[in-house]
Chains A and B, each alone.
Chain A
Amino acid sequence: DVKVTQSSRYLVKRTGEKVFLECVQDMDHENMFWYRQDPGLGLRLIYFSYDVKMKEKGDIPEGYSVSREKKERFSLILESASTNQTSMYLCASIEAGRGDGYTFGSGTRLTVV
């Protein structure tokens, strides 16, 4: 069964902390995405990556960075967490050039206090 695994289901961090959200997929997908989901706003794209060491800004990259050192792992980094980054974070992956087969992780609910 193919999977996108996010390391934590729930996370509570303090303002100013550096936060790492990890996403691992076992499908050898080239393309990986990080979204945040907020009530009334839906899913918004933070960053995406089409290959190892490549990254592209999405619609709301401010306050975030990413790392893709290996094909299967795409990390989202909050350099200095703030309360407005409290949200549900979702990772997704898909094989390059495919229109179908998007697979989502189960999400990490991050609370910044």
Chain B
Amino acid sequence: KNEVEQSPQNLTAQEGEFITINCSYSVGISALHWLQQHPGGGIVSLFMLSSGKKKHGRLIATINIQEKHSSLHITASHPRDSAVYICAALYSGNTPLVFGKGTRLSVIA
């Protein structure tokens, strides 16, 4: 069964810290998504990547196809970054996403 593992499950950081959230998947994928969900809010897509690295503002996502691993980095973290971050793998074509269980991030001022 295709699986996606995320770590850590919970993360607390001080404002300004550099944050890394990790995601690993079991077999080859066609794409990996990083999603964000603020408390009480809906889910927003941050990145979709199939190779290399993508950057948007203070967020950076990387993927290593050989190691079946992706990371989401947040530089200069801020309390408004507090949210659940979810990685999800697209294994092929039209198949549904397979989700990790999410990482709950709290950034303290």
**How many chain A residues touch B (Cβ–Cβ < 8 Å)?**
25
Establish whether residues B101 and A33, one from each chain, have CB atoms under 8 Å apart when the complex forms.
no
Looking at the assembled complex, report how far the CB atom of B51 sits from the nearest CB atom of chain A, in whole angstroms. 12
Specify which of B31, B42, B102 is in contact with A104 (CB 8 Å cutoff): B42
Contacts of B45 in A (CB 8 A): 100-104
**How many chain B residues touch A (Cβ–Cβ < 8 Å)?**
22
Establish whether residues B99 and A43, one from each chain, have CB atoms under 8 Å apart when the complex forms.
yes
Establish whether residues B100 and A42, one from each chain, have CB atoms under 8 Å apart when the complex forms.
yes
Question: A31 on the interface (CB 8 Å rule)?
Answer: yes
Question: A106 on the interface (CB 8 Å rule)?
Answer: yes
Question: B48 on the interface (CB 8 Å rule)?
Answer: yes
Establish whether residues A99 and B30, one from each chain, have CB atoms under 8 Å apart when the complex forms.
yes
Question: B50 on the interface (CB 8 Å rule)?
Answer: yes
Establish whether residues A97 and B31, one from each chain, have CB atoms under 8 Å apart when the complex forms.
no
Q: Which 10 A-B pairs have the closest CB atoms?
A: A106-B42, A42-B101, A104-B43, A99-B31, A100-B48, A43-B99, A42-B99, A45-B96, A99-B90, A42-B102
